[in-house]
Amino acid sequence: MAHLPDAPLPHPLEAFVTIDDAQSDAHTPSLICEIHEHAVPPFVIAALDQLYGSMFASWRHVQLCEADRPMPHAWVAWRHGEVAAALLFRIEPARVLVLTEMMAIEAELVDAFCRSVYGRYPQADMIVLNAVDVVGADTPSSSHSLRWPSQSYAFSEDFVITLPANVDAYRALLGKSTRKTIKGYGNRIERELPGLRWECLKADSLSLQQQRRLVRTLQRFKRDGMQQRGKRPAIDRRDTARLLLLARECGLFGIATVNGRVVAGSLACRFGDHYVMLLSAADPVLERFRLGFLACYWSICDCIAQQASDCHLLWGRYDYKIQLLGRLRVLSRMHIYRSRLSMLCQLRPVFMMLGQGWLHSARACLLKYSREVIKRINKFLQGNK
C-alpha cells in the first residue's frame, strides 16, 4: 500500500464501501473505493509511482502518449486509510479501457474495480486491461480470486530485479559463473582499455544538449548491434522525444568513456522506489569486451546506490537478464465481462482474444525452440574451432 501523508481522506458522499457478504468477516479488511471523473488528483499521481514503480503505469506516460485526449477517470481503493490501488481508465462507449499497464495488482482489487465501474456505468459491458499481472486470478480456491467471466493470454513480460541494500550484497547473490565473467572482462578492460571510465550522472547534472547527444549515441550503438545480428531496429523520432522528456525529469545516466569518447552507457528512469532500464548499449566494435553486459551490470549497481528497491529490465528474453537476477513476470491482456450473457453478446472480441492468445503462444513456442537451435549450433561451432 502507498503511505501518502498528504492524501485526502475519501469523501463519504463520493466513496462507497465495496464489501461482498463472502468477505465481510473480521479477517478481511474493507475497501473504500471512489472514482474521480475526468480528474487525476495529485495524490493519485504519487500513488501510481509508489504502488507500481512502472513507467507504463505512471501519469507522466499517459500525458506523453495521449496529450491530445481528454482527461481520463481515476479509480482509487483505500484500505485502513492508505491507498491500496489506483487505476486510470477511459469509457469507450460500452468498453472500459484501463490505461495503467505493466504492473502487478491483486485479484481482490481488480474485483473491487469491476464492481465500482459496473455499478456506476451501466453502459459498460467489458473492461480491458493490458500488460497486467493479476495476482490470485487463477486461484479458484482463493476467497480473493476474480469472480467475473474473463479471458486472458500472456501478452508481454517484464524481468524484475529485487535490489538488496548494497552492491556487495548484490554481487554475492550473483551466480559463480556471472561473477567470474564480470571479473574476467573487467581485468581484460584494465589491460587493453586502461582509459575506460564509468560515471553515473543524474539528468539534472547534464545539459539538455548533452542528454540528447548521449541518448542518440546509445540508440546508434543499439541500432548497429541489432543490424549486425540481422534484426531490424524499431526506433522512431516520437519515441526518442518521449524518452528525452522522461530522462530530463527522472533519468539516471551511466556513461562509459575511453579518452573522452562514449563507448557504452545506460539510461534508467525512476518511478517511486523503482528504476526502469530504458536504454543500455555499447559500441559493437568493442563487443569482445562484453561492454553491453557490463554496462547493464554497472547501471544496476548505480540503482542500488540510489537506494532503489527494484530494477525493471522490461521485455525480451535474453540470458544476461537472468544472469543479473532478473525474475520473469508474465503480463497478460485481460477482458473482464459484466456477465456471461454480455460475454455471449460480444462474440467478436471473444473470438479475437482466442485467436490472439493462440498466435502469441505459437510465437513464444517458435522463439523458444529457435533459441535452443541457435545455442546448439553455436556450441557445435565453438567445439570445432
pLDDT (tens digit per residue) in 125-177: 999 999 999 988 766 555 556 788 999 988 899 999 999 999 999 999 999 99
- Predicted confidence band of residue 366 (pLDDT cuts 50, 70, 90): confident
Q: Are 253 and 203 in contact (CB under 8 A)?
A: yes
Residue type for 306, please? Answer: Q
Give tens-digit pLDDT for 22-76. Answer: 333 333 357 899 999 999 999 999 999 999 999 999 999 999 998 889 999 999 9
Q: Are 99 and 18 in contact (CB under 8 A)?
A: no
Integer Cα distance of 54 and 104 in angstroms = 10
Give tens-digit pLDDT for 205-217. Answer: 999 999 999 999 9
Integer Cα distance of 291 and 280 in angstroms = 10
**CA 92 and chain centroid, separation:** 25
Strand, helix or coil for residue 348: helix
Give tens-digit pLDDT for 209-239. Answer: 999 999 999 999 999 988 887 777 677 788 8
Integer Cα distance of 358 and 317 in angstroms = 19
Residue 378: what pLDDT?
Answer: 58
Going along the chain from its start, the domains and CATH numbers come out as: 16-156+331-369 (3.40.630), 164-308 (3.40.630.30)
pLDDT at 344 over 90: no
- Predicted confidence band of residue 377 (pLDDT cuts 50, 70, 90): low
Give the DSSP H/E element, type plus range, for residue 282: strand 274-282
Residue matched to cell numbers 479471458: 151
Give the residue with greater pLDDT, 286 vs 348: 286
Residue 226: what pLDDT?
Answer: 84
